[in-house]
Amino acid sequence: MPIGLSYITFQSVSYKTEIYRKHIAAERDIGIYALFLMLFTKVIAGPIERVQNLIPQFRIRHNFDFTLFKAGMMQIAFGFFKKVVIADRLGIVVDKVYQNPLAHNGTELIIASLFYSFQVYCDFSGYTDIALGVSKIIGINLTDNFNKPYFSKSISEFWKRWHISLSYWLRDYIFLPISYRLSRKWKEERYLFVRTEKWIYFSAIVVTFLICGFWHGSAWHYVVWGLLFAVYLSFSIATLSYRRKFYKRIKLTNYPRFFSATKLITTFLLVTFTWIFFRAESIGQGCYIVKKITSISVNDTLRLPLNYTEMAFSFLLILILIVKEKFFYLIQTSNTPKWFLIIVLLSLSCYFFGIFIMKQFIYFQF
């Protein structure tokens, strides 16, 4: 597949739709248009930029800005850290287990699936950090694709924080047009005792996530992955009022911190469940893994490709990632010596603890 085909296509669709909707005027400079589609920092795996954000930036003269340079370098360093130290290390376990799930027990499959949740996040957000960092150095601000997605307390919130440029693209060019179209067609207040607006939401969300699944790959397990999110979101809307009543009845709302943590963990586990089908090579394999996970036992032995020290180190890295995202999401770069020290430390960590096995970024295939 040609490099960045899907990203270029999505941007082209966005560009043409925005012109059709008369939100923007057509770009008359082919160079600017080509740059919009193929800016080297984002051509391979996004973010999927909007014309309104990017093209005006091409018309400004960008002089070297040391503040932007420092911020960009910091983002690049963290991007590499996420990719080579965390994602590729967790990937060793994930690849080994998912290559042959028959040879692994429930505990190993659970660990591999949990690791995959963090691998895919560190891999993709690591790439995005590098892309955004490089862009920043040359004075271009790209859309941030991630905003602490594993701190989401609901699936809808997760999609506002995960692959943001894609989810907003899907919302604006698929979900909303379908919803408007259906709302004009379905005139009744209720169908089968369910309010029409809910039917519209269910239909639009299923189509949107079907397309989202197919966009990730022409294999049915990606479709299942997308449909699972559609089911989660539909279920969430359908049961919203009942759940609220239920939470009140069991007095969960009286403990806001505990309630919040429960929602966060539930969301994370639901997302991790979908990643099983995303990572599996087929629906059958995904179902097998889910089935095997339920057979988890205290007698399970671990035969993973990392030794115990490295397994502990991997969990420590995940913890570091969580703490960093929670408390130090944006590192200040105004203090130059401090900035330099952090860059040096990150570079040394990447060098000494990085896994350099020429492993491609996961989202390069999409």
Strands 194-195 and 190-191: antiparallel
Residues 6+ apart with CB under 8 A from 44: 3, 4, 7, 361, 364
Instruction: Please tell me whether residue 66 binds another protein under the rule CB under 8 A.
Output: no
ω into 47 cis (within 30 of 0): yes
Instruction: State the Cα–Cα distance between residues 117 and 346, nearest whole angstrom.
Output: 23
Segment interacting with another protein (CB under 8 A) among 175-183, 222-230, 290-298, 305-313: 305-313
Residue from 183, 310, 349, 364 in contact with another protein (CB under 8 A): 310
Smallest separation, CB 312 to another protein (Å): 10
Smallest separation, CB 314 to another protein (Å): 10
Residue from 94, 306, 317, 318 in contact with another protein (CB under 8 A): 306
How many other C-beta atoms can be found within 10 angstroms of the C-beta atom of residue 210?
16
Instruction: State the Cα–Cα distance between residues 194 and 197, nearest whole angstrom.
Output: 9
Q: Which is nearer to another protein, 287 or 355 (CB)?
A: 355
Instruction: Please tell me whether residue 206 binds another protein under the rule CB under 8 A.
Output: no
Distances, alpha carbon 161 to alpha carbons 144, 147, 158, in Å: 9, 5, 5
Query: DSSP for 176-207?
Result: HHHHHHHHHH--SSEETTEEHHHHHHHHHHHH
* 221 catalytically annotated: no
Segment interacting with another protein (CB under 8 A) among 40-48, 68-76, 270-278, 347-355: 347-355
Instruction: Please tell me whether residue 351 binds another protein under the rule CB under 8 A.
Output: yes
CA atoms in the 13 A half-sphere facing the CB of 301: 2
- Tell me the three state secondary structure of residue 11: helix
Selecting among 104, 163, 216, 221, the annotated active-site residue is: 216
- Annotate each residue in 110-149 with x if it binds another protein (CB under 8 A) or - if it does not, as one string: ----------------------------------------
Residue from 257, 327, 357, 360 in contact with another protein (CB under 8 A): 357
User: Which residues make up the interface to another protein (CB under 8 A)?
Assistant: 306-307, 309-310, 313, 351-353, 357-358
Which of the residues are catalytic?
Answer: 216
